[in-house]
């Protein structure tokens, strides 16, 4: 199959300059390999700056959607989460090369990256859409903050239990006292939600999970709802509470705030090698027998 990717952006673990220096050689090797195939290569600006890559075209993260047909992310899942949120409007497919710890999202091994990237360029890949959550924080009747999450939106106490009221599609579900609540996409069910006792959902399921964190009532269990649902969480009482998006951006909530979570209109797409198997990945990453 003829290669349909004429321009490729490369993004390293740009939040960590020390890590970028460590993977600099791999970044250069990958960029030169792509150029040898007459592919236009551009390096994300912070990646180029901290890895001291001066011999390639530089592009800002915001402009990648206008400059590239594909983005290759070299780092860990955290880097992929950040990039996915930034590029949701661009609709650029993402390929992940794992230079982190787990690699649930960055599934290509660094030592095999040239071979695997060549397979993807030859059309031997699986394109997998992943849903995101769109969140509005309502304060005093107005939208105070809006954000996206590929993994999860987490409402969490700072000191003691917080009291929340949860409604789904304008129907009251329950009032809970707990350390917080995780609202997760299927992608995020292998992250914080899993540690809190939530189920693992296959990425092709159209669902959102609600996983309480250390609930005061032990019968308060995780539930999953259709991804078309609108979930509203009202903050009734607490001493201190925060909301976070993919564990990377957070701010303080106030009593009376309402957090409205629903599926984002757009998705991001991950490109996997053609022999990729989600269950193989789970077995390897979670050390199943």
Catalytically annotated residue among 26, 77, 152, 179: 77
pLDDT tens across 29-85, in order?
999 999 999 999 999 999 999 999 999 999 999 999 899 999 999 999 999 999 999
Question: Which residues of the chain are under the pLDDT cut of 50?
Answer: 1
Predicted pLDDT at 1 = 47
Check if the beta carbon of residue 70 is closer than 8 Å to that of residue 93.
yes
Instruction: Please give the angle made by the CA atoms of 49, 50 and 56, to the nearest 5 degrees.
Output: 45
Predicted pLDDT at 16 = 82
pLDDT tens across 166-192, in order?
999 999 999 999 999 999 999 999 999
Q: How far apart are CA 33 and CA 216, in angstroms?
A: 55
Check if the beta carbon of residue 70 is closer than 8 Å to that of residue 43.
no
Predicted pLDDT at 2 = 54
Sheet holding 258-263, edge to edge: 142-149, 133-139, 258-263, 231-237, 162-168, 171-178
Predicted pLDDT at 14 = 82
Structural domains of the chain ordered from first start: 7-131+267-285 (3.40.50.10330), 133-263 (2.60.200.30)
Number of H-type helices and E-type strands within the chain: 8, 20
Catalytic annotation on 112?
Answer: no
């Amino acid at each position: 199959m003829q290669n349909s990717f004429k321009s490729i952006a490369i993004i390293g673990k740009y939040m960590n300059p020390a890590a970028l220096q460590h993977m600099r050689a791999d970044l250069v090797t990958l960029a030169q390999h792509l150029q040898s195939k007459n592919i236009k290569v551009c390096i994300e600006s912070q990646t180029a700056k901290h890895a001291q890559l001066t011999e390639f075209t530089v592009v800002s993260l915001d402009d990648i959607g206008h400059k590239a047909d594909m983005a290759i992310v070299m780092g860990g899942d955290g880097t992929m989460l950040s990039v996915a949120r930034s590029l949701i409007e661009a609709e650029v497919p993402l390929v992940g090369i794992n230079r982190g710890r787990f690699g649930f999202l960055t599934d290509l091994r660094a030592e095999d990256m040239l071979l695997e990237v060549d397979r993807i360029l030859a059309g031997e890949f699986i394109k997998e859409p992943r849903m995101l959550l769109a969140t509005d924080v309502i304060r005093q009747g107005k939208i105070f903050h809006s954000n996206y999450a590929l993994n999860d939106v987490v409402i969490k106490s700072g000191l003691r239990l917080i009291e929340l009221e949860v409604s789904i599609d304008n129907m009251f579900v329950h009032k809970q006292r707990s350390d917080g609540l995780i609202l997760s996409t299927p992608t995020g069910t292998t992250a914080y939600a899993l540690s809190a006792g939530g189920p693992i959902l296959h990425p092709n399921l159209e669902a959102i999970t609600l996983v309480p964190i250390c609930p005061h009532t032990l019968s308060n269990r995780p539930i999953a709802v259709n991804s078309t649902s609108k979930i509203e969480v009202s903050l009734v009482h607490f001493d201190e509470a925060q909301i976070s998006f993919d564990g990377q951006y957070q701010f303080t909530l106030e009593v009376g705030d309402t957090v409205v979570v629903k599926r984002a209109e757009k998705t991001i797409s991950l490109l996997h090698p053609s022999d990729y198997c989600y269950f193989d990945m789970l077995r390897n990453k979670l050390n199943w027998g």
